[in-house]
């Protein structure tokens, strides 16, 4: 692809072009704009190069020679990359007069490339830094057969249909407005109705599981974040401090120091442990504009956060309990498939190796006891402790990071928290950090794509839409709506002066689970006629039967 682009746009400068999970991309510095309309032209040139059967020739050059080569070619990005290499030699590949910096290996000839497709064009800052120049990125994919390529392209079409940004607009669920700020989510009434149902479920289940619910501020003095280590290890994800009456304050990236402060507000005994605090706490983290992505990557979000304070001999039971709780929550929302990872100590960390080993062993032991298969993810723990990450797979088999469980020996030490043990001495508690859904924003985005916007009844923003056939049926419909509202059923009525077919289509576009169609027959028999969003008619039923039918589905979370 880079060869083809260079042939068509000779003044282009080459940046980087790696393989990625589902294809490849290449970044170009080009004075003219490469658009989606240029992709067929680039594909045509690629096919010509493939047909030429050029061999890929690997060459190993001294670093100085490689620098001179790419300087002569005017490839300034390659020169920058080579200058940063520690090796004394550099490998390049050449085919048909085109040469590029690459480790390899490659196929032996260009004609071994089979089915491919260029997918899209996007902007990308050099090295992901908005201070650098904006480059033009072309995405593509390749497969060994046309059939495999077609299957993948069909999959991508389904992904487009489920894109939560598109469905969020079509279903009027949420928006992100530049006047408010990038990465800051506005929940519309329909989206807020789903969020309210999620929060109600979350709160009820945490109450049953012995958690105490907290509410904490959105900012704190900067010194607090110095004590926790966030300012040393997490600064790039935090916003600039603000001055209040001569003191620096920081908008919170985490909830944990606040929960620690509540723990410290009383003298604690071993009898108080385990102490489980939970909060739907909104936090703010700096994300570069180039990586923001709808609900999936935002700057302000609400974590379903909790911190468990326990003694060392309670860790195993608490981690096991959290694992059970996590999988119950995920299954309730329809996620039965997931991958589990045990993330170990990163290069930059706080605490002792002994503490890290104890924490990591506790997480690994819990996974073994539960018989859960997992992979180790070396170096991907947070700076204060190792973690279990649970990544759900949606209805298309895509993987999403949601749940995390972390064992922390370090923040209790740094913030000096203690409890009185059975020996009447002071002991350090252990903290277990956990989020079951992750962030509500991200989880909602995943839910939208998992269900393609057609939520189960218990989550649907409107569970049933009442559609009067004519104006004379409106009064009956209003009374029915009032009855359903009193039963805590989310209902709306379409009173527009439109034909019933149009009203049905409108409710179907909004993916309302059920439509209640009311005409002369229903009024005379004091019944309702129910239609599902897939077009299936369930027939007539009494109002009492309808209420029982809906409440049964809602209570069973279907």
**Edge-to-edge strands, sheet with 387-393:** 212-213, 275-284, 300-310, 430-439, 399-408, 387-393, 338-343, 375-377
pLDDT number for residue 384? 83
Which region among 18-22, 155-159, 490-494 has the lowest average model confidence (pLDDT)? Answer: 18-22
C-alpha distances in Å from residue 89, one per residue of 15, 59, 86, 98, 414: 20, 10, 9, 20, 46
Helix, strand, coil percent content, the chain, rounded in steps of 5: 40, 30, 30
Whether 303 is catalytic:
yes
In the chain, what are the domain boundaries?
Answer: 2-143, 170-451, 464-555
Looking at 162, 256, 389, 473, which residue is catalytic?
256
Looking at 152, 252, 345, 433, which residue is catalytic?
433
The Cα–Cα gap between 255 and 216 comes to 8
Going by C-alpha positions, the residue among 406, 397, 388 that lies closest to residue 340 is: 388
Provide the pLDDT confidence category of residue 41 given band limits of 50, 70 and 90.
very high
pLDDT number for residue 355? 85
pLDDT in tens, 63-92: 999 999 999 999 999 999 999 988 889 999
pLDDT in tens, 322-369: 999 999 999 999 999 999 999 999 988 888 888 889 889 999 999 999
Q: Cβ-count burial of 368 within 10 angstroms (0-12 exposed, 13-18 middle, 19+ buried)? A: exposed
pLDDT number for residue 531? 95
Q: With 80 as the cut, is the pLDDT of residue 290 above it? A: no
294-320: average pLDDT: 95
Over the chain, what is the mean pLDDT?
94
Looking at 136, 303, 314, 406, which residue is catalytic?
303
Looking at 206, 268, 387, 473, which residue is catalytic?
387
pLDDT in tens, 515-556: 999 999 999 999 999 999 999 998 889 999 999 999 999 999
pLDDT number for residue 411? 87
pLDDT number for residue 463? 98
Looking at 230, 259, 285, 511, which residue is catalytic?
285
pLDDT number for residue 129? 80
Kindly report the length of the chain.
558
Identify whether 262 is preceded by a cis peptide bond (ω within 30 of 0).
no
Looking at 230, 307, 345, 503, which residue is catalytic?
307
What lies within 8 Å, CB to CB, of 71 at 6+ separation is 79
pLDDT in tens, 169-209: 999 999 999 999 999 999 999 999 999 999 999 999 999 99
Provide the phi-psi class of 199: left if phi over 0, else alpha when psi is between -120 and 50, else beta.
alpha
Looking at 305, 389, 394, 494, which residue is catalytic?
305
Identify whether 105 is preceded by a cis peptide bond (ω within 30 of 0).
yes
Q: With 90 as the cut, is the pLDDT of residue 410 above it? A: no
**Edge-to-edge strands, sheet with 247-251:** 219-221, 247-251, 242-244
Whether 305 is catalytic:
yes
This prediction has a pTM of 0.89
Pick the CATH number of 2-143 from 3.40.250.10, 3.30.70.890, 3.40.50.620, 3.30.980.10: 3.30.980.10
Could you write out the three-class secondary structure of 398-413? CEEEEEEEEEECCHHH
pLDDT in tens, 427-454: 999 999 999 999 999 999 999 999 999 9
Provide the pLDDT confidence category of residue 288 given band limits of 50, 70 and 90.
confident
Residue whose pair of structure tokens reads 């860790």 in the numeric block: 315
Pick the CATH number of 170-451 from 3.40.50.300, 3.30.930.10, 1.10.357.10, 3.40.800.10: 3.30.930.10
- β-partners of residue 430 are 310
pLDDT number for residue 533? 94
Question: What CATH fold (topology level) applies to the domain 464-555?
Answer: Rossmann fold (3.40.50)
- β-partners of residue 417 are none
Going by C-alpha positions, the residue among 445, 444, 453, 424 that lies closest to residue 511 is: 453
239-246: average pLDDT: 94
C-alpha distances in Å from residue 298, one per residue of 237, 284, 324, 389, 390: 12, 9, 29, 20, 20
What lies within 8 Å, CB to CB, of 343 at 6+ separation is 377, 379, 380, 381, 382, 386, 387, 388, 389
Q: With 90 as the cut, is the pLDDT of residue 374 above it? A: yes
Whether 433 is catalytic:
yes
Q: With 80 as the cut, is the pLDDT of residue 45 above it? A: yes
pLDDT number for residue 383? 84
């Amino acid at each position: 692809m880079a060869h083809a682009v260079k042939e068509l746009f000779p003044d282009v400068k080459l940046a980087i072009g790696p393989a990625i999970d589902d294809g490849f991309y290449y970044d170009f510095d080009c004075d003219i704009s490469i658009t989606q309309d240029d992709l067929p032209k680039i594909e045509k040139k690629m096919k010509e190069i493939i047909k030429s059967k050029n061999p890929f020739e690997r060459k190993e050059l001294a670093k100085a020679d490689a620098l001179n080569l790419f300087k002569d070619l005017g490839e300034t990005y390659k020169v920058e990359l080579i200058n940063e290499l520690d090796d004394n030699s550099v490998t390049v590949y050449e085919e048909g007069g085109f040469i590029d910096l690459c480790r390899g290996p490659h196929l032996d000839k260009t004609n071994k490339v089979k089915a491919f497709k260029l997918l899209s064009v996007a902007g990308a800052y050099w090295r992901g830094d908005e201070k650098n120049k904006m480059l033009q990125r072309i995405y593509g994919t390749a497969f060994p057969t046309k059939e495999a390529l077609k299957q993948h392209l069909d999959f991508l079409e389904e992904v487009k249909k489920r894109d939560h940004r598109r469905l969020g607009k079509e279903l009027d669920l949420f928006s992100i407005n530049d006047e408010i700020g990038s990465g800051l989510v506005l929940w519309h009434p329909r989206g807020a109705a789903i969020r309210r149902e999620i929060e109600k479920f979350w709160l009820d289940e945490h109450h049953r599981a012995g958690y105490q619910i907290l509410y904490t501020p959105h900012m704190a003095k900067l010194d607090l974040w110095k004590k926790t280590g966030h300012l040393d290890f997490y600064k790039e994800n935090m916003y600039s401090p603000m001055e209040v009456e001569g003191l620096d304050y920081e908008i919170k990236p985490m909830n944990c120091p606040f929960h620690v402060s509540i723990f410290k507000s009383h003298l604690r005994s071993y009898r108080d442990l385990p102490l489980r605090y939970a909060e739907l706490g909104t936090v703010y983290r700096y994300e570069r504009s180039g990586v923001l992505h709808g609900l999936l990557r935002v700057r302000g979000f609400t974590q379903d956060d909790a911190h468990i304070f326990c003694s060392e001999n309670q860790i195993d039971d608490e981690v096991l309990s959290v694992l059970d709780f996590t999988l119950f929550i995920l299954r309730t929302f329809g996620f039965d498939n997931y991958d589990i990872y045990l993330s170990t100590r990163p290069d930059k960390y706080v605490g002792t190796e002994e503490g890290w080993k104890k924490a990591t062993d506790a997480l690994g032991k819990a996974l073994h006891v539960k018989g859960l298969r997992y992979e180790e993810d070396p170096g991907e723990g947070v700076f204060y402790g190792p973690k279990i990450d649970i990544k759900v797979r949606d209805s298309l088999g895509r993987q999403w990071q949601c749940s995390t469980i972390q064992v922390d020996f370090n923040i209790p030490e740094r913030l000096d928290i203690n409890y009185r043990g059975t020996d009447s001495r002071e002991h350090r508690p252990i903290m277990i950090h956990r989020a079951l859904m992750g962030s509500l924003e991200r989880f909602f985005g995943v839910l939208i794509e998992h269900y393609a916007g057609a939520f189960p009844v218990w989550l649907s923003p409107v569970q049933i839409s009442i559609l009067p056939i004519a104006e004379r049926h409106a009064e009956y419909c209003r009374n029915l709506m009032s009855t359903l509202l009193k039963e805590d059923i989310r209902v709306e009525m379409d009173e527009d002066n439109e034909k019933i077919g149009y009203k049905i289509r409108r409710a179907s576009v909004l993916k309302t689970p059920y439509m209640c169609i009311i005409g002369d027959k229903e009024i005379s028999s004091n019944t309702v006629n129910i239609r599902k969003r897939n077009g299936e008619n369930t027939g007539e039923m009494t109002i009492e039967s309808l209420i029982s039918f809906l409440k049964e589905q809602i209570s069973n979370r279907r």
